[in-house]
């Protein structure tokens, strides 16, 4: 891994911000707390203890879970952290997302942004990690992503609950005239056993909130947890089975108008000629306005209903300027190949790779070229936002993964101060990284300037959504290995080229910051894997293609999980070594990894003979702090290849809700399998060729395999959950297809080579 000297000289990119040479943020700033945003908006008789807890005089307990719920169950798990320490059941509390506020910054989202593998616990790695956490606070990014929410919340939300409980006990002790140590809490009340007296939290909330914050907060031992560590009923489930209006697209306001957008089908292009007359005359159309945002140019259609807006958008007749990027998928591929031929940034360099290959006999060399396409997020809920601009103040309602960014960019776009903007974050009909972007909010905010103060809900068509994403970038990789006498690899050289996600996000979200240094996401999932190979080099090159690219569930690991683990399977096949045994040997220095591999192999009965026409493939990826092994079993059927069964073993360090974790691992695996089976975004004439679910589909229920999941807790640090099941899914499937058919497929989607049942 990187040495101290290299770090001092190197600049590197983290999350969505560039930091030169590490960290330069004052300790004082880091320590200084942000104001509590709940103080501004308390109800009658309501008291707040910190940004996470409010208690009313009627004993209504409200917990703020300030991370976006996109299906991953985070609102439940964060609320449980507070409830556990506050000593109340989940059914006793109300959970809110809360306002957009810097108080809710996510430190963990950036902590793994340095050039270190998760298992690297050298002093340098730890120092940079905690430094980057400080940067997280400095940027005050209230974001949901990087599978970071539970890791970020685990200490601070439990502390918030515990501190509030201690203050409530102290206030009750004063009121009852007894010692605090003689008081107990249960279910929202404080009891004095000796006298039988009790007070509700609400009865002492106002007095408690006025007390000095405790100097020391004691957290429960894990053995005393009543809620954490056990599957909980999700707080959002009832609303979701009754069709309650909880999504951005469900917002309804008095006197509301409806709209849609027609943005340039070529990214960044401007309209050179536009005839709006036909569209303007369509029934129900009120007005068509030009739109110009950090994301590109186009038109907003304001109408009496969504359908009228959709119909009008179809007949807008515009010509768009020539794009600044290559027009076709073939031309983009040429740029990637060219980039791969240039000098890359080396992110892992063990031993002496060049010497190891210099004298290698031809028969000991394994070589392979890998390719993956651009991918859309295709959330079930198309992009949308509702906005109202009245008296110089903007209200905006939308599902989003970064409310402080929505506020900041809408302020710039509309030309008002941030404190004149209220962001109402709704539940999201899927996020997967798409709703880190704010284009849908910017369009609605700009259109709200044109409605004379009336609110407007702006809904994109699926076609507009599919063709205006911040895509998972295409990538190519070149791989080489030298095998030893025993068939095990003694040297590997891996190099990949891809457009930079970080550069793409900076252009849209922080246009004033220019990218510095290499983009670590290009090599994530390849340079940071727990394998020991004496000569091991991984380098990455950013390819200059400016089609918008962004965070797609597991980001770089979605690419490199496939590359790295496909190639590992090739090495095993060439060396005539069992792929599971090979991994166990190469991972010997990382016991958590070995245990995951052993577990998933045992679950799948790896090594036992299968009937003819069936085969298994295995893959492993460490990402977002969790160690995940997956085995896929496929069968040859007359209708094509059927994915029969998937086994997943994941070491997440500490499992806070096993039920939600299981659901997330399966979800992420299906997301990865869907992409591997058939998804790709291609370009012709600078325009995305796919438009809807008929040509960008995902796994259906009749294709869904049976899953078996084991959640392990061996590693001493907590890992993320929302994304970690995705990276090993594609390579495990491709490796299974190799085992079944002998065909090594190195280009996704697999449907280019095989049919799926």
Q: Which pair of structure tokens corresponds to residue 327? A: 């027009």
Tell me how far, at minimum, the Cβ of 447 lies from another protein, in Å: 16
Residue 252 within binding range of another protein, rule CB under 8 A: yes
Measured from the CB atom, the residue of 250 and 349 that comes closer to another protein is 250
Residue 403 within binding range of another protein, rule CB under 8 A: no
Q: How far from the centroid of its chain's Cα atoms is residue 462's Cα? A: 22
Whether 431 contacts 70, CB under 8 Å: yes
Residue 751 within binding range of another protein, rule CB under 8 A: no
Residue 704 within binding range of another protein, rule CB under 8 A: yes
Tell me how far, at minimum, the Cβ of 144 lies from another protein, in Å: 13
Over the window 193 to 232, marking each residue x when it contacts another protein by CB under 8 A and - when it does not, the resulting string is --------------------------------------x-
- Stretch near another protein under the rule CB under 8 A, chosen from 182-190, 524-532, 600-608, 693-701: 693-701
Q: Looking at 379, 404, 426, 500, which residue binds another protein (CB under 8 A)? A: 379
Residue 247 within binding range of another protein, rule CB under 8 A: yes
Tell me the residue ranges of DSSP E strands in 294-409. Answer: 296-303, 317-320, 345-350, 365-372, 384-390, 393-398
Residue 70 within binding range of another protein, rule CB under 8 A: yes
Measured from the CB atom, the residue of 110 and 652 that comes closer to another protein is 652
Measured from the CB atom, the residue of 404 and 461 that comes closer to another protein is 461
Query: What 3-state class would DSSP assign to 419?
Result: helix
- Stretch near another protein under the rule CB under 8 A, chosen from 64-72, 330-338, 358-366, 519-527: 64-72
Residue 181 within binding range of another protein, rule CB under 8 A: no
Residue 260 within binding range of another protein, rule CB under 8 A: no
Mark 551-588 as b/e (b = at least 16 C-beta within 10 Å).
bbbbbbbbbbbbbbbbbbbbbbbbbebebbebbbebbe
Taking the C-alpha atoms of 380, 251, 385 and 275 in order, what is their torsion angle to the nearest 10 degrees? 100
Q: Is 419 exposed, middle or buried (0-12, 13-18, 19+ CB in 10 A)?
A: exposed
Whether 709 contacts 652, CB under 8 Å: no
Residue 387 within binding range of another protein, rule CB under 8 A: no
Tell me how far, at minimum, the Cβ of 737 lies from another protein, in Å: 20
Measured from the CB atom, the residue of 27 and 702 that comes closer to another protein is 702
Measured from the CB atom, the residue of 331 and 380 that comes closer to another protein is 380
Whether 288 contacts 279, CB under 8 Å: yes
Residue 94 within binding range of another protein, rule CB under 8 A: no
Q: Looking at 216, 419, 702, 742, which residue binds another protein (CB under 8 A)? A: 702
Q: Which residues contact 143 (CB under 8 A, 6 or more apart)?
A: 15, 106, 109, 401, 402, 404, 405, 436
- CB neighbours (10 Å) of residue 10? 16
Chain residues 429-448 in contact with another protein, contact rule CB under 8 A: 429-432
Tell me how far, at minimum, the Cβ of 256 lies from another protein, in Å: 9
Q: Is 525 exposed, middle or buried (0-12, 13-18, 19+ CB in 10 A)?
A: buried
Measured from the CB atom, the residue of 526 and 729 that comes closer to another protein is 729
Residue 639 within binding range of another protein, rule CB under 8 A: no
Count Cα atoms within 13 angstroms, Cβ side, for 435: 31
Tell me how far, at minimum, the Cβ of 682 lies from another protein, in Å: 19
Q: How many residues bind another protein (CB under 8 A)?
A: 68
Mark 488-524 as b/e (b = at least 16 C-beta within 10 Å).
bbbbbbbbbbbbbbbbbbbbbbbeeeebbbbbbbbbb
- Strand partners for 630: 619, 648
CA separation for the pair 479, 572 (Å, rounded): 14
Tell me how far, at minimum, the Cβ of 398 lies from another protein, in Å: 14
CA separation for the pair 47, 57 (Å, rounded): 8
Tell me how far, at minimum, the Cβ of 561 lies from another protein, in Å: 17
Q: Is 178 exposed, middle or buried (0-12, 13-18, 19+ CB in 10 A)?
A: middle
- Site residues for another protein per CB under 8 A: 69-73, 231, 233-234, 236-247, 249-250, 252, 258, 283-284, 305-308, 310, 378-382, 427-432, 459, 461-463, 659, 663-664, 666-671, 674, 692-694, 697-702, 704, 706-707
């Amino acid at each position: 891994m990187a040495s101290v000297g290299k770090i001092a000289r190197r600049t590197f990119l983290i999350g969505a911000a560039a930091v030169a040479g590490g960290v330069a943020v004052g300790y004082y700033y880091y320590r200084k707390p942000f104001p509590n945003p709940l103080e501004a908006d308390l109800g009658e008789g309501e008291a707040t203890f910190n940004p996470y807890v409010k208690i009313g005089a009627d004993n209504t307990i409200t917990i703020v879970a300030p991370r976006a719920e996109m299906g991953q169950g985070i609102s439940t798990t964060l609320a449980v952290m507070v409830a556990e320490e506050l000593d109340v059941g989940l059914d006793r509390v109300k959970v809110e997302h809360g306002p957009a506020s810097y108080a809710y910054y996510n430190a963990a989202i950036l902590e793994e942004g340095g050039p270190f593998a998760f298992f690297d616990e050298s002093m340098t790695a730890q120092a940079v990690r905690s430094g980057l956490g400080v940067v997280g606070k400095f940027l005050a990014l209230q974001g949901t992503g990087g599978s970071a929410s539970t890791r970020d919340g685990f200490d601070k939300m439990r502390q918030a609950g515990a501190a509030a409980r201690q203050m409530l006990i102290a206030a009750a002790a004063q009121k009852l005239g007894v010692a605090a140590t003689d008081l107990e809490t249960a279910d929202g009340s404080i009891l004095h056993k000796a006298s039988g007296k009790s007070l509700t939290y609400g009865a002492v909330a106002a007095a408690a909130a006025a007390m000095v914050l405790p100097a020391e907060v004691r957290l429960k031992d894990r053995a005393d947890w009543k809620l954490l560590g056990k599957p909980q009923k999700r707080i959002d489930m009832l609303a979701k089975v009754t069709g309650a209006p909880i999504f951005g697209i469900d917002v309804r306001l008095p006197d509301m108008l409806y709209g849609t957008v027609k943005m340039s089908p070529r990214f960044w292009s401007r309209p050179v000629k536009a005839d709006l007359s036909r569209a303007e005359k369509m029934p129900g159309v009120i007005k068509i306005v030009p739109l110009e945002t950090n994301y590109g140019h186009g038109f907003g259609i304001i109408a009496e209903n969504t359908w009228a807006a959709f119909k009008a958008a179809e007949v807008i007749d515009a010509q768009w300027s020539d794009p600044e990027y290559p027009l076709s998928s073939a031309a983009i591929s040429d740029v990637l190949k060219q980039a791969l031929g240039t000098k890359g940034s080396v992110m892992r360099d063990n031993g002496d790779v060049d010497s190891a290959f210099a004298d290698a006999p031809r028969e000991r060399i394994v070589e392979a070229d890998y390719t993956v396409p651009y991918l859309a997020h295709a959330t079930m809920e198309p992009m949308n936002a509702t906005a109202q601009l009245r008296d110089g103040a903007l209200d905006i309602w939308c599902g989003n993964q970064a409310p402080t960014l929505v506020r900041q960019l809408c302020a710039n776009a509309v030309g008002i101060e941030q404190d004149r903007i209220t962001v109402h974050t709704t539940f999201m009909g899927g996020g997967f990284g798409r709703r880190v972007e704010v284009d849908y909010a910017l369009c609605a905010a700009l259109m709200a300037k044109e409605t004379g103060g009336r609110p407007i809900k702006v809904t994109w068509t699926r076609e507009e959504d599919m063709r205006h994403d911040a895509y998972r970038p295409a990538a190519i990789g070149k791989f080489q290995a030298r095998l030893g006498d025993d068939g095990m690899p003694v040297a590997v050289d891996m190099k990949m080229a891809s457009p930079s996600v970080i550069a793409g996000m900076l252009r849209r979200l922080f246009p004033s910051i220019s990218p510095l240094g290499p983009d670590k996401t290009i090599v994530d999932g390849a340079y940071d894997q727990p394998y020991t190979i004496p000569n091991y080099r991984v380098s990455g090159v950013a390819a200059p293609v400016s089609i918008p690219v962004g965070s797609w569930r597991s980001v770089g690991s979605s690419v490199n999980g496939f590359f790295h683990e496909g190639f590992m399977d090739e090495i095993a096949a060439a060396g005539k070594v069992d792929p599971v045994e090979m991994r166990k040997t190469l991972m010997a220095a990382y016991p958590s990894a070995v245990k995951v591999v052993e577990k998933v192999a045992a679950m799948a009965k790896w090594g036992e003979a299968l009937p003819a026409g069936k085969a298994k493939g295995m893959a492993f990826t460490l990402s977002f702090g969790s160690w995940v092994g997956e085995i896929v079993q496929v069968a040859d059927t007359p209708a094509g290849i059927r994915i029969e069964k998937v086994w997943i073993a994941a070491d997440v360090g500490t499992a806070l809700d096993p039920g939600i974790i299981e659901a997330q691992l399966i979800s992420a695996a299906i997301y990865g399998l869907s992409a591997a089976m058939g998804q790709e975004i291609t370009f012709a004439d600078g325009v995305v060729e796919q438009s809807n679910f008929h040509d960008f589909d995902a796994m259906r229920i009749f294709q869904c395999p049976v899953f078996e999941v084991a959640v392990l807790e061996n590693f001493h640090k907590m890992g993320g959950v929302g994304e970690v099941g995705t990276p090993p899914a594609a390579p495990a499937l491709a490796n299974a297809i190799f085992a079944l058919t002998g065909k090594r497929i190195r280009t996704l989607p697999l449907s280019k080579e095989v049919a799926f049942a």
